[in-house]
Chain A
């Protein structure tokens, strides 16, 4: 009896340690975002401080963060939609007609480092005046979203029973119509998983936007990174900005936790 009690206590303790480790940096980010700069700079105020929303006011008033949020949102939504538009039919075709060599191409595109495209894109986009344009930025983010969506959806479509499709074709429905009206609705869980993650990857993307975005299209991660420049760092505002980028991602992850966990465990990691 005694051993089980000890075991249970140490088990709960371990649980608590793991959870504290996981959450602490988030707690720290949020608490610093509500601290006045002077108290951040003074270690005596590590845990007790006078909360203020001044940091948040400052990033929206002094630094046009609304604009960056809109940019990030436009790029993330449109690149996800674009990836779905191209990726869903392609994944279906690859799954149904067993085009294994093409699925290998997708895998290679997933493995290659993002920076390998960035040099040529930068040169080519410069010539085509696509630097600091939404078109260029969205296309670059689709290079992460598209292979990812196909990667998740190929096994999903592969599992769809052939007989159901065939009976629909016999009933005179065209193949495109069968795909749109029968296959897609049933595949909704996979589509939701892959779209949510594609959205998150785009929202979080730093490297592509850093090089390809400019004043007009600057996304949130770049705005926050640029915020660090200068002689002294305004930590409170920096952490407020970090909270603003991370919040939507956390909300999505919480709401769709079942989908996101399965998507991430399916080998789903950024480009």
Chain B
């Protein structure tokens, strides 16, 4: 049985359906990322799981206990930890007092343990305004972990940090969650963050889930155009499948798709420069992960990011995923 199962969740805000029939589950010790553009309903879903938002329909079960529906369980009786975007560390309490907030008493030195675990030694008696943004976020994480929640919810926990800090805190969090065997739901709009941290990623769009899969699967076999474009950052090139085969950018490969029109997902990882591909016009360039990508406008007005400086023509260096 799953630790958390969300089933047909529906939430309307101001008359608009914000969460529109969402179902997923999280297993013991699993980290699931809820990934989507802003306004897609992912934070509302998280707030419903925390009990901060009352769901209109559907069920939210934690360890088999129904939390939603007729008997809405208030957040203080759910045993779910929550880390907010910029921490919401209580400004009137010291680090130690923040960490201890959720504990009735601390006989076995839980606070000291967390101070150690989160690298906050020496800062116990500081007030939040005396901490850096990264330290504050560690306090927020420790505070949520202190009462040993059954599930940890993370709402864009790195969004207000700068790039370098984000990377190091992300790595620390990854290690920490695995070490504790803590099940977590990470809400984010950052593809890299989701793919890097999560065991599985649920892609959300306009209140609905588009695909729930392991990171690699999302890239290799996106369920639809939205997932391909949002997760892979890819553009789509119309192709035709004939006799179970498709030919695109100088490469021909087999596909299980039915014959007819389809679109090839132009992921930068699977493109390169060579002979026999499609010619294009250089329209821009950008750096990504320390690599130069050339933005090339192909015939038909489709833009593709291709690694390296422009060469003769754009070719596919591996089989490309296909979507409708």
Q: Do A and B bind each other?
A: no
Chain A residues at the B interface, C-beta cutoff of 8 Å: none
